[in-house]
Amino acid sequence: MNLRRSHCLRQAIIGLAFTLMDLEVRHLKVVCAVATAGSVHKAARALGVSQPTLAAQLRRIEDFLGGKLFTRHIYGCSPTMLGQQLISRARPIVDEMSSLASEMKAAACSAKPGTLVMGGFPCGVIPGWIARLREFHPTLHPVLQTGVSSRALLRDVSEGQLDVALVVELEEEPIRFPPGVARCLLIDREPVLVQFHERHPAAELATIQLTDVAADQWVANRNADGQWESIHQLLRSAGITPRVHHADYATSNLLVKAGEVVGLCQAMSEPKEGVVVRRRLEGDPRKISWFLVGRTEAFLETVYPALVAEYRSRAEILYAYGKIWDEHWVAKI
């Protein structure tokens, strides 16, 4: 009896929550994003949120509306008739609100002379880049926003919410640059590093092959564009059955430090103090490219020299890149 009462109470609370819920623009953005991406997983990456979070939000929207908006299948999902009806009405609203937000943010920034709104995929070059910008342009006031989704950063640049952004492209997940967005290539192929505990047998090697870490558990961030798929493809290409944990970057570093997992890390990231070592993968089997994108060419001309200077400085300090500068360095400006 007590269990039944508890269940009824829980259902009543859930029902009350849905009764109080209002359909907002953010809910419409979720529905449109899923429809555009064709799957909840891809939509979550585009929005820069986790898949479970987006799936739960979509379920709440469907419960509020009283019907399913998408039919799930092995290739993703497709809108139901109810979903199609909602999407056809929602898209113009979402587009108009995005345009309004972009215009207002651009107006707010223009009201503050010298403000530069920057975005970037988290990497070790960003702090020094900002410092050099202040050195090169003393009247400039950089404002930074970071995010693990290059697609989301590109969208923000395209919509005028960011002036410039540093984005990463994986070979398995080519970037689709929005029309009208200026861009230049920072580096075409950055070295691939693996990090693991100092007691790992591969720690004694100068460079490693994937077979040296074939028996290990790996870690990757499922929410970062293409990282989850890329690491699975990388391991399979070496004949290794992927065993990969999902974790954000901070948790990943803690797991590596504890000796529980191994993982890829950026060549420009700060070396971890203590028990973590990093080794370069022979042949750099995973192509990682970095691009600087901006609302206009003028923005790129302002910030690119400081970015190049910081990247070169860190590369010379952290790693002996050898001929990589001659082979892969492309300066458009």
pLDDT confidence of residue 102: 63
The answer as to whether 322 is a domain residue is: yes
**Number of folded domains that form the chain:** 3
Same domain, 7 and 132: no
Strands (E), the chain: 70-73, 76-79, 115-120, 141-146, 164-170, 182-187, 193-197, 207-208, 218-220, 244-246, 263-265, 276-281, 288-294
| 54 within 8 A of 44, measured Cβ to Cβ | yes
Residue 257 counted as domain residue: yes
Indicate whether 61 and 172 sit together in one domain. no
pLDDT given at position 91: 85
At residue 93, the 3 state secondary structure works out as: helix
Model confidence at 321, pLDDT cuts 50, 70, 90, reads very low
Q: Is the pLDDT assigned to residue 20 strictly greater than 50?
A: no
pLDDT tens track for 253-293: 888 888 899 998 888 776 665 568 888 888 888 888 999 99
Rounded (5°) CA angle 328-329-332 = 130
124 and 156 part of one domain: yes
302 in any annotated domain: yes
* In a shared domain, residues 148 and 206: no
Give the closest residue to 289 by CA, choosing from 240, 246, 324.
324
CA distance 220 to 57: 24
Tokens of 220: 């990757």
Dump pLDDT digits (tens) for 164-183. Answer: 999 999 887 888 898 889 99
Distance (Å, whole) CA 183 – CA 294:
6
Domain of residue 276, residue span: 193-281
Same domain as 300, residue 185: yes
The predicted-structure confidence for 209-250, as pLDDT tens digits, reads as follows 999 999 999 999 887 777 888 888 889 989 999 999 888 877
pLDDT in tens, 72-108: 888 788 889 898 888 888 888 887 887 677 667 656 6
For a pLDDT cut of 70, what percent of the chain falls above it? 83
Task: Determine if the pTM surpasses 0.75.
Answer: no
Count of Cβ atoms closer than 10 Å to residue 221 Cβ: 19
In sequence order, which residues have a C-beta less than 8 Å from that of residue 288 and are 6 or more positions away? 168, 169, 170, 171, 189, 190, 192, 266
Residue reference for tokens 């042949």: 283
